[in-house]
Amino acid sequence: MITRFRLLVTEPLDGAANMALDEALLLSRLRHQGPPTLRFFAWAPPTVSLGYGQRLDGRIDLDEARALGIGLVRRQTGGSAILHEGPDLEITYSVAASAGDFEGAGDLLETYRWIGAGLQAGLAALGAPVEMVPVQPSDPAAMPAFCFARTGSFELEVEGKKLVGSAQRRQGAAFLQHGAIMLGADPARLRRVFPGEGDPLEGMTTLEATLGRRPSFDEAVAALSAGFRQAHGLALEGGELSAEETELAGSLARDKYGTHDWTWSGRAPRALTIV
């Protein structure tokens, strides 16, 4: 059986709009109103995204981030913070699907492995010698502030250095996973935003460092899409948001992801997420 997914490639959006759109895709799939979706996107302006349960405890220098024109948003998924630098330095992906959309979609670790296999094939097509390494998740009691400094199951690494940072949220029978793939990096900006993390590049790498060149956002989209087709025989069909998804994303951006209560404390109006 050929698994069919909608492929969305969206223009760069701000933090609230990006995270609202991802949750709208999750809720749409949970309600059986929209198809399973693979999305590639970027950020404008550059934005720090916080993990769902991450505390703002001083390890992220918010004053420096504001001075650099960097936004702040809290994700629906877990993990630690990521500095999303925009399409010149990063490509972000998300997968919104539910149990039955592919073999193993109902299992947390199997979905990590399935998505990782698609990403691995795409990155290999770019020339990156990526390995998918089963590892133990980081100890929550010692969780670093910077996502690429922590570990999770089925990491994608090059010579022991993390290339992709991913996180997942499961709701009912559906799940949302998204992650960042570093095309390149600006170490000085990372150090200013995450001053307590030592060398933020110590345990991570970028495609530029791996390949000796920096792929463009569009080149990465093409390769990663082909990787999912190759790894899983996936039928990726270009599509658009439905009117309902567009309306829901707008409501979530305005009333949840764009609010101080959600960004600082993780509190959101419950009415927005009732299924």
Given the residues 73, 147, 185, 224, select the one marked as catalytic.
147
**Is 147 tagged catalytic?**
yes
Q: Are 121 and 230 in contact (CB under 8 A)?
A: yes
Q: How far is CA 47 from CA 6, 193, 235, in A?
A: 26, 11, 32
- Token representation of residue 120: 């691995």
With a CB cutoff of 8 Å and minimum separation 6, the contacts of 144 are: 80, 138, 150, 197
Query: Tokens 């995204």 sit at which residue?
Result: 49
Q: Are 179 and 224 in contact (CB under 8 A)?
A: no
In the chain the beta strands, taken as DSSP E runs, fall at: 4-9, 37-41, 47-50, 71-74, 82-84, 90-98, 131-133, 155-158, 161-162, 164-171, 174-182, 235-238
Q: How far is CA 75 from CA 36, 106, 130, in A?
A: 20, 22, 26
What is the pairing mode between strands 37-41 and 4-9? Answer: parallel
* 3-state class (DSSP) for residue 55: coil
Give catalytic residue positions: 147
